[in-house]
Amino acid sequence: MTSLPMGIGAGPRPGHVGELHLRRFRAGELAGASHDQTASHIDSCGACRARLRMLDDEQRAFEREVPLARFTGGVERARRVPRTRPRRAWAWTATTVLCAAAGVVLVARTGVFEPASPPGTGLNQIKGTRSVEALIRIARPDGSDQRSAAPGTTAALRPGDRVRIGYRVPGVRHLIAVSLDDAGTITPLYPQSGAALPVVPRPEAMYLDDSVEFTGHGGERVWLVLARAPVTVAEVGRAVKTAVISAAGKSDGLGPIEIPGNQVESFSWHFDKP
Partner 1 sequence: MTQGRKPQLRLIPGAKSGDPLRELYQKYGGSVYGRCVYILKDRSKAEDAMQDVFAKALEHFTGFRAEASPLTWLMKIATHHCLNLIRSERAPWRSRFKTETEARGSGHGGPQVFEARDLVHKLLAQFDLETQTAVIHYHVDEMTLDEVAALIGRSVPTVRKRLEDFQTLCEKEAPT
Contact set for partner 1, span 123-182 (CB under 8 A): 162, 179, 181
DSSP 195: B
How far apart (Å, rounded) are the C-alpha atoms in residues 274 and 272? 7
- Distances from the Cα of 177 to the Cαs of 43, 111, 222, 240, in angstroms? 23, 22, 7, 11
CB of 253 to partner 1, least distance (A): 20
Q: Which H or E run contains 179?
A: strand 173-181
Count of C-beta atoms within a 10 Å radius of residue 163? 22
- Using the minimum distance from each CB to partner 1, give the nearer residue, 124 or 141: 141
Binding residues among 211-230 for partner 1 as defined by CB under 8 A: 211-218, 220
CB of 212 to partner 1, least distance (A): 6
Q: How far is CA 108 from the centre of its chain?
A: 19
CB of 55 to partner 1, least distance (A): 7
DSSP 247: T
CA dihedral 11, 14, 16, 19 (to 10 degrees): 0
CB of 272 to partner 1, least distance (A): 13
In one-letter notation, the amino acid at residue 186 is I
Which part of the chain contacts partner 1 (CB under 8 A), choosing from 18-26, 116-124, 129-137, 165-173?
18-26
Q: Which of 53, 77, 140, 202 is in the footprint of partner 1 by CB under 8 A?
A: 77
DSSP 209: S
Q: Which of 15, 46, 82, 203 is in the footprint of partner 1 by CB under 8 A?
A: 82
DSSP 121: E
Check residue 100 for interaction with partner 1 (CB under 8 A).
Answer: no
Binding residues among 181-200 for partner 1 as defined by CB under 8 A: 181, 183-187, 189, 191-194
Q: Which of 37, 40, 60, 116 is in the footprint of partner 1 by CB under 8 A?
A: 60
Label residue 7 left, alpha or beta by phi (over 0 means left) and psi (-120 to 50 means alpha): left
Q: Which of 71, 124, 143, 262 is in the footprint of partner 1 by CB under 8 A?
A: 71
Count of C-beta atoms within a 10 Å radius of residue 204? 8
How far apart (Å, rounded) are the C-alpha atoms in residues 262 and 228? 7
Which part of the chain contacts partner 1 (CB under 8 A), choosing from 40-48, 65-73, 122-130, 166-174?
65-73
- Distances from the Cα of 221 to the Cαs of 64, 111, 185, 188, 255, in angstroms? 32, 25, 10, 12, 12
CB of 263 to partner 1, least distance (A): 24
- Using the minimum distance from each CB to partner 1, give the nearer residue, 8 or 203: 8
Check residue 109 for interaction with partner 1 (CB under 8 A).
Answer: yes
- Using the minimum distance from each CB to partner 1, give the nearer residue, 91 or 150: 91
Q: Across-strand partners of 94?
A: none
Binding residues among 249-268 for partner 1 as defined by CB under 8 A: none
- Using the minimum distance from each CB to partner 1, give the nearer residue, 6 or 33: 6
